[in-house]
Structure formats: structure tokens, C-alpha cells
Structure 1
Amino acid sequence: MISWGTLYYALPATSTAIARDTGWSVVLITTAFSAGLILSAAAGIPVGRLLDRAGPRLAMTVGIVVGAVGLVAVAVAPSFPLFIAAWCVVGLGQSATLYQAAFTVINTTFGARRGTALTVVTLAAGLASTIFAPIAVALTHGLGWRGSFLILAGILLVTVGPIHATLLPRRWLHIDGVPDAGARADPFRVRRIARSRPFLLLQVGVTGLALALYALTINLVPLLTSAGLAAAAAATAFGLVGVGQVAGRAFFAFGRGTTTVPAVTAVAAVAVIALAGFAAGAGALPAAIGLAVLAGAARGSLTLIQASVVVDRWGTANTGHLTGIFAAPVTIATAIAPAVGAALLQATDATITALLCAAVAAIGGGALLLGTTTHRDPRVATRHRTHQ
């Protein structure tokens, strides 16, 4: 929760103040933020290998230090090029700190209890924007945005740093009676899995759904206002996306898994229905509120699918490396989604934007369902499976 709040949500909450103080446009500031996210996606693959080989304590503690250094660099950046460079450093910290690394730890160490653990972590992280956006705004009001980022860097370092350095296991624990299951595998296995049809279908499915859901929901306020809603009403609907996100994750806390065929079908269907619904109901507040909650629920559930799908299908061996490969295009999609949604709104209108996002979600949902139902290649099967 603290890592997401400081390394991710602080910038969107303070971008207007940064623009006002520096003269850089909000678009440029958001571009710097997206550059860090894209680098985070690329860095996630070697970070995943490091997690597999060295264990979580070293990699994730270093990630916190790098992230804190990046936030300090953001605070003192005297020019826009150095501001971009600073967010790239933050991106390196994100790759070893946020969901991707946390999911690897949980999937490799929690065994049969990992479904509950994943839900708890994502529910807590779902509160990050609720808690840290107001904190960042208040700090900026009192100390300026540069002082705010310095304080946030200190909060990250002194709270999360000791957690990672002392409470995470130094080496991977025994899974299903097999020592170091996270690191022991056929050296060619990762390549075979990453090139297999099920892996690619699942990857395309999650990426497509993420792109569609984030492109519309991040731009929900301008979409709803362009459809005729007042700004305050649009903001209310936008805030309820977070409520739906938490509700979607909580729903799976009592289920039998997030990557079963019924679960995947339900999430894809809800995403398509919600996004298509905005084409017809964006101008009415009750409909906009209901659709925002549904879109949020699909977004929240998709996070759990991404967290579970690799281990559910291929087991815990080399989960860090495989998770890094799987998450790279998903992270890039979420990084560019705000710009994609804004460009669609500018070039078309709310109805066409919603329909295009629904079409992308339908393609992604179809690929996800195909990947879920496609049989595994026996050459990449593993004995080291854990069950949710």
C-alpha cells in the first residue's frame, strides 16, 4: 500500500501543482510518469530472474532504496529532461516493489493459501490512492511539490525498507516438499512456456482487457462530461471505480479461483458490458454510477487473474522470470492507456470511444478464454504445482 501510494499515486495527485510551479504541461509531466512505467515493464524481466535466483529479500530491499532515490531525484530535478530521468529511476524501483514482485513472493511461498494472500495484498493496495492522494496534496499545499516528494521518499524508505529487509525470506522456502522450487527448473523451460500458445493467448487477453479498461476508466471524467454530465457528477462516478475495484477483488476471496473458465468468462463479460454500456448510458448519472462500479470490478478482478494465471497453469518454478515476461506488455498497456483514451475522445466522441474500448475488451476476453481452455504442452508441465 505504501509503495503504490508513494511510487505511483503521488504523481497523478500533484501533477497540476507541478505544472503550475514549473511551467511544464500536465501532458509532459504524465509522459515522464509513463516513461518510468514502461521502463518498469522492461526491467521486470531481469528483476524476475533476480528474484528467482537470489530470493526476495535482496531484490525487493534494493527496489525500495532505488525507488526512494528516484523520488528524491524527482524532488530536486532542475529541468524537464532530468525530471524524466528521475521517473525512470522510480520505474526501476517499481519493478522490484509493486505487484509483480509481490505476486512472485506470494505465489512461491504461500502454497495453498496464496489465493487468500493475493486478495489481501491487492485489497490493501487498493486503498493506496484513497490514503496517499490526499497526503500528497496536503504535503504539497504545505511544503510545495518538491518538499512533498522528499517526505514521501522518506516515508517509503523508513517504513517499507525495514519490512523488506527483515520480514521477507532471504531464500525461497520449501514448496510442496521441494527445496528452492522458485529456482530449480529446466533452463529451456521458461523459453518454451513464453513461446507456447496458451501463454501468448493469456498474455494477449490480459493486455487487451487492461488496455480497454484503463483507457476508458482513467478518462472517465472527460468522457462523462462530454456526454452531458456535470463535472461533479462525473467525478462521483469516477470515484466509484475504486469501490468497484475493491469489491471485485473481495468477491474472489471466497471463490475457488480466479483463473477457472467460469471466473474468466464472468470477468470478460462484465468488462465488455460495462464499457459498451457507456456508449448508451454515459449521459445519465444512475447508469454512469452502475457502469463505473462494474468497470472497476472488472479491473480489480483482472489484477487477481494476472497474479494467478502463470502459477495456476505452470506451477511455481521460475515464477519470477515468467511473471516478468507475462506482465511486461500488461504494464506497458496500462502506461499508455490514459493517452490512448484521451486521443480517442479527442478524435471521436464518448459513444465511439466506449464502443472501441468494448471491442478491444471483447478481443482480449476471447483470447483469455481461449488461453484458459487450451491444453498445456506436456513438455512445459511441472510437478511443482500449487492450488488455490
Structure 2
Amino acid sequence: MAMTVGTAVGAAGLVAVAVAPSFPLFIAAWCVAGLGQSATLYQAAFTVINITFGARRGTALTVVTLAAGLASTIFAPVAVALTHSLGWRGSFLILAGILLVTVAPIHASVIPCRWLRADGAPETPARADPQRVRRIARSRPFLLLQVGVTGLALALYALTINLVPLLTGSGLTAAAAATAFGLVGVGQVAGRAFFAFGRGTTTASAITAVAVIAVIALAGFAVGADLLPVAIGLALLVGAARGSLTLIQASVVVDRWGTADTGHLTGIFAAPVTIATAIAPAVGATLLHATDGAATALLCAAAAALGGAALLLGATRRRHPEDSTRHQNQR
């Protein structure tokens, strides 16, 4: 129900954007669209998958994130074509119609209104346990994981969103920089696909791999971004780290504390990560202007990634007392 309503709200927001007569109303319309997004994007989908797919959630998460990773590949040219043909207001109206005609019916018909047991029978979800949620959310492992993922996300998104000016500032042409930027998406899909075949991979080993790749890629851009082959290889690496980090964020709470109260816990966990992702472009641009060059900005990002990686690894080394009751809380 929440995702269906969110789709409708998002579509209404796009219509409001299209017909907004003034800048304040334009901003307000985008806020409505953002409210709809909050009920339809990764966190909402991850909650449904983690509860309904059980042991098969790894494959399901991979499928959803792979499809989402191709969203911009599909809809960026569609949006450009619509804008050229109908103007930006007309294109927003068409996109709102697509949401209502295709996405809303899928959410309404496919996602169950009530959680299902393993045998497919409907189940009344257990009432949230505020004390358990509060205890886990304030625990040292949860906070370390949360801050670590936030640090990695901030570093990776600050780099990738500003990759073109970073690479042109390092000496590459705009065309070469754009090519490297486009390959970030390819690496992102490859990183997510790894989870589909790496079923025996533990959360700790996945975090270790992502942390190492992120630090190497960020530091590599600082010292070798002026060579196109190197830039392309590093773009693939940083994309793989970004794609894998999305799946880690989707599964780390459930892997550690089970599916009970997963909506509350993943929402709390994702809040600072979402904020970091939102401000990352501005942080990256500010670093570029405030430092003496791209290398310094990239080394700062690598240091942030290294700090986040250290916190993540520290959180996965010790088990939390709540972990012992994890399987009792599985639905």
C-alpha cells in the first residue's frame, strides 16, 4: 500500500512540477515528488524483499538493484527525447503518466498488503518492539556500521558525481572524461552482479572487498587520472564499489539482527546515508574549489573512505548480544 500511494504521490508531484507557475511552487512541487520517492525507492523495496524472500533475498536484491542501475540508461535518453519534442513541462506530464499507468498497478497487484509466511499464507506482522529497536540502534556495532557506510557513500558519491570536472582538471579531454564517467554505471552493474554469484560471500568479506576497492580507486584517481586507460579502469572499480555498497546497505542490518523490526531499523540506518548521498555533489565540488587541485580533493575522499572502511571492519569483527536471538526473530 505504501509503495502504491508513494507512486501516486510522486506522479502528482511531477504534474505539479510541470504546471508550476512560479519558482516557490516549483520547489514545493519537487518536495511532493521527493515525498513520493521516499516510499518507492530502494529502502521501501529492500524492506519488502528482506521480509518476503527470506534466504533468497540476496538474489532478489541483486535483481532489483540491477534493474534500478539501468534506469538512467533507459530513461535519460527517453527524457531527452520527450523534452526535445514536447518541452520540459510536457515531458514531466508524460513521465507522470508512465508512473500511474505502469508502476502504480504493479505495486498494487504484486506487493502483498500483508506479509506472507514461507508457505505463502498471509501473516499478521508482529508489532514493532520499540525497546528492541532503540537498543539495537544505539548499540556500538549498529553505529559503527552506520557511520562506516555513510563515510564510504559520501566519498564515493562525491567523486563520481564530480568525475568529469575532476578528470578534465587532471588533463583529459571532456569526451574522454565523459567516457570514463559513463563506465561508472557499467562497473556499478558488475559490482551488483557479483552478489548474484557470490552467495557464499559473508557480509564481513564483502565489506572488506568494497572498502579496499574504494580506497584503491580514490587514491588511484589522485595519482593517475591523467591517463585515459587508467581512468577507465578506476571508473569501473569505483562503480563496482558503489554498486556493491548499495547491496551491503540493503542486507547488513538483516544479516546481523534478523527481519524483525527491519523497516524501523533499516530506516534509521539509511537516514544519514541518504543525507550523505544528497550532499555529496556539493561536498565534492567544494573540495575541488577549496583545495589546490583534484589530487588533494581525491586524497581527502580516499581518507574519508578509509575511515569509513575501518569503522565497518571494526563493527563486523565482534558479534553483538542481540545477534544470538537473530534467528528467533526471523519471519
Give the aligned partner of residue 304 of structure 1.
Answer: 247
In the alignment, which of 147, 153, 164 is matched to residue 210 of structure 1? 153
Q: Show CA shifts across 1:24-82 (max 9, x none).
A: xxxxxxxxxxxxxxxxxxxxxxxxxxxxxxxxxx1111100111011111111122221
Code of the residue aligned with 2:12 in structure 1: it is V
**1:178–1:207 Cα change, 3 Å:** farther
SS in 2 for 1:71: helix
Counterpart check, 1:373 vs 2:329: no
Give the Cα–Cα distance (whole angstroms) in 2 for the partners of residues 295 and 226 of structure 1: 19
Give the aligned partner of residue 308 of structure 2.
Answer: 364
Give the aligned partner of residue 13 of structure 1.
Answer: none
The correspondence of residues 305-344 of structure 1 with structure 2, limited to 5 A, is 305-344=248-287
In the alignment, which of 165, 171, 175 is matched to residue 228 of structure 1? 171
Count residues in correspondence. 330
Give the Cα–Cα distance (whole angstroms) in 2 for the partners of residues 363 and 122 of structure 1: 26
In the alignment, structure 2 segments of 5+ residues that lack a partner are: none
Counterpart check, 1:80 vs 2:23: yes
The correspondence of residues 38-117 of structure 1 with structure 2, limited to 5 A, is 58-117=1-60
The correspondence of residues 1-388 of structure 1 with structure 2, limited to 5 A, is 58-174=1-117, 180=123, 182-256=125-199, 260-348=203-291, 349-378=293-322, 381-384=325-328
CA contact (8 A) 1:181 1:317 kept: no
Give the Cα–Cα distance (whole angstroms) in 1 for the partners of residues 142 and 121 of structure 2: 25
CA contact (8 A) 1:66 1:93 kept: yes
Alpha-carbon offset, residue 382 of structure 1? 3.2
CA contact (8 A) 2:187 2:238 kept: yes
Code of the residue aligned with 1:364 in structure 2: it is G
Give the Cα–Cα distance (whole angstroms) in 2 for the partners of residues 267 and 315 of structure 1: 23
CA contact (8 A) 1:61 1:165 kept: yes
The percentage of counterpart residues that share the same residue type is: 80
Code of the residue aligned with 2:23 in structure 1: it is F
Q: Show CA shifts across 1:183-208 (max 9, x none).
A: 34533111111111111111001111
CA RMSD of aligned residues (A): 1.9
Please say which of residues 62-71 and 257-266 is displaced more in the overlay. 257-266
Code of the residue aligned with 2:304 in structure 1: it is V
CA contact (8 A) 1:76 1:146 kept: yes
Q: Show CA shifts across 1:128-162 (max 9, x none).
A: 01000000011000111011111000001110100
**1:170–1:285 Cα change, 3 Å:** same
Q: Show CA shifts across 1:75-133 (max 9, x none).
A: 11122221211111111111110000000000000011110000011011110010000
Give the Cα–Cα distance (whole angstroms) in 2 for the partners of residues 381 and 169 of structure 1: 27
Give the Cα–Cα distance (whole angstroms) in 2 for the partners of residues 384 and 80 of structure 1: 52
SS in 2 for 1:228: coil
Give the Cα–Cα distance (whole angstroms) in 2 for the partners of residues 260 and 181 of structure 1: 30
Q: Show CA shifts across 1:204-263 (max 9, x none).
A: 011110000000111000000001000000000000000000000011111136652221
CA contact (8 A) 2:224 2:231 kept: yes
CA contact (8 A) 1:108 1:175 kept: no
**1:176–1:352 Cα change, 3 Å:** farther
CA contact (8 A) 1:245 1:301 kept: yes
In the alignment, structure 1 segments of 5+ residues that lack a partner are: 1-57
Q: Could you state the TM-score of these two structures normalised by the residue count of structure 1? A: 0.82
Code of the residue aligned with 2:312 in structure 1: it is L
CA contact (8 A) 1:208 1:361 kept: yes
Give the Cα–Cα distance (whole angstroms) in 1 for the partners of residues 118 and 307 of structure 2: 36
Give the Cα–Cα distance (whole angstroms) in 1 for the partners of residues 127 and 200 of structure 2: 26
**1:379–1:366 Cα change, 3 Å:** closer
Give the Cα–Cα distance (whole angstroms) in 2 for the partners of residues 107 and 181 of structure 1: 16
Give the aligned partner of residue 35 of structure 1.
Answer: none
Q: Could you state the TM-score of these two structures normalised by the residue count of structure 2? A: 0.95
Give the Cα–Cα distance (whole angstroms) in 2 for the partners of residues 268 and 122 of structure 1: 20
Give the Cα–Cα distance (whole angstroms) in 2 for the partners of residues 284 and 312 of structure 1: 40
